[in-house]
Amino acid sequence: MQSDIGLIGLAVMGQNLALNIADHGFAISVYNRTTAKTDEFVKENPKTPGKLTGCPTMKDFAASLKKPRKAVILVKAGGPTDAVINELAAVFEPGDIIIDGGNALWTDTIRRERELKAKGLRFIGSGVSGGEEGARFGPSLMPGGDAAAWAELKPIWEAVASKVDAVTGVELTGATPGKPIKGGVPCVAHIGPDGAGHYVKMVHNGIEYGDMQMICEAYDLMRGLLGMTPDEIGSTFEEWNKGDLNSFLIEITAKVLKQKDPETGVPLVDVILDTAGQKGTGKWTSANALDMGVAAPTIAEAVFARCLSAVKDERVAAAKALRGPKRAMTNPDKAKIIEQIRDALYCSKICSYSQGFQLMREAQNEYKWKLNFGEIAQIWRGGCIIRARFLQKITEAFGKKPRLANLLLDPYFKKTVKKAQKNWRKVIALAVKHGIPVPTCSRVSATSSAPTPTSARTSPAASSSTSTGRIPSARRSRPEVLDRKQEGRPPGRPSSLCA
């Protein structure tokens, strides 16, 4: 019996996605350049609902697939992906479909589709978000490419995607090996042609960077200003997760902060080195925002925070030489300030997502795409790293007004920011007074009524910005100008929360 689909690359993400596909009854062939790994994987999973077939060669892999053949690639982005595509192209026939599920630069996806089309092959660049767990039990999927090719892949991608409740938008959970979620709305949609899917996945990752940095800043404010312990802060995040801030990242932050180091008994967060790297998608998002002339300072500041975290020795030396003000407040109204920090975090989050959607809006003009922003918000409600309750509000906002210029102009978000911005401003003022950095909570788009730096208020250049937050004189260029040789440099992380 031939397989419904194939998958190349059996690292953890590839293995988990293959098992997810098999759990839904699809027969799947798998291939890895190390044959022993293929054999081991198939041997360890003998009773999947859909048959797993291991293939020793690429030729065997192609022969095992139903026509038109469909093969998912999950290998390292860049050169390795090109190498696998070339190998597949040599054994595939016109009309067959290659799906890249890695974190590819969207311009690479545009190029690859063009090159494969000339050979009669079809190509889909699909964002896959949700990490290892999402790949196993239901990721958020963002495919872009030929519409007819998508129609061939659609039944499988809709089956394996995360599911949310049709009314509330809440993610349906409880899947176990061999027993996937039944019913619900799948978190997948055809984003658009060529590189649209990978572009939207890139922006998703940029927003994720901003979300993580904001959470770090909220943590630092509670610990620095109020002297709260990690366990107390974890309990606060748990409480916040019951309301508007409900999200996967808030949920796991609460759990991490309550963990103790098994060797020392101290909070785990205190023994994790506060430096981090990145995969490049946050940098791509920030660089593309500059190319497009779109203000996305929250995402950019999150990337810069990681860069700063990488120079640990320099930071330690500077802290000794340049002493700041006293971080702790004297006799603070703890409950009141926690509420203010919550409001600051929510407003900053709204602005960050607003910037991401503005960037996608400009990209569709640049690349002649037609993006459905309500649908994009909808498929981010489950499976992906930035899944959050308020994405239902974004879905509703674009549902009511598909051509909405800015999320902050939607009645719900406008009312929310208007109500909370006083507390937001107070938090930024307290942070400055006590020497606590809050780059993402204080750096927002010119489209909002949020506080901006003094230089931005007084400089002639700032006064010329339009209501869309774009600089009229910005020279836009294609993002091929990115220096991709620098992608591997480890820029660091904003704080020890991003372990």
The residues assigned a catalytic role are 201, 208
User: Residues with Cβ < 8 Å from 226, sequence gap 6 or more?
Assistant: 328, 329, 332, 334, 337, 338
**Distance of alpha carbon 65 from alpha carbon 2, whole angstroms:** 5
Exposed, middle or buried: residue 332 (CB in 10 Å: 0-12, 13-18, 19+)? middle
**Distance of alpha carbon 109 from alpha carbon 199, whole angstroms:** 9
Of 159, 212, 199, which is closest to residue 376 (Cα–Cα)? 199
Reduce the DSSP state of residue 38 to 3 states and report it. Answer: helix
Q: Is the dihedral of CA 410, 411, 416, 417 positive or negative?
A: positive
Please provide the DSSP assignment of 147-164 as one string.
Answer: HHHHHHHHHHHHHHS-EE
Alpha helices in 92-240 (DSSP H): 106-117, 131-137, 147-160, 196-226, 230-240
Cβ of 491: how many Cβ atoms within 10 Å?
Answer: 21
For residues 106 and 198, the answer to whether their CB atoms sit within 8 Å is yes
CA atoms within 13 A on the CB side of 479: 25
Please provide the DSSP assignment of 276-311 as one string.
Answer: ----SHHHHHHHHHHHHT---HHHHHHHHHHHHHH-
User: Residues with Cβ < 8 Å from 319, sequence gap 6 or more?
Assistant: none
**Distance of alpha carbon 470 from alpha carbon 401, whole angstroms:** 21
Cβ of 327: how many Cβ atoms within 10 Å?
Answer: 17
**Distance of alpha carbon 423 from alpha carbon 446, whole angstroms:** 19
Exposed, middle or buried: residue 1 (CB in 10 Å: 0-12, 13-18, 19+)? exposed
Task: List residues bridging with 122 in a β-sheet.
Answer: 97
Of 322, 358, 24, 306, which is closest to residue 158 (Cα–Cα)? 24
Of 149, 148, 129, 147, which is closest to residue 139 (Cα–Cα)? 129
Strand intervals (E) in 11-69: 28-31, 52-54
The amino acid present at 119, given as its one-letter code, is K
Reduce the DSSP state of residue 74 to 3 states and report it. Answer: coil
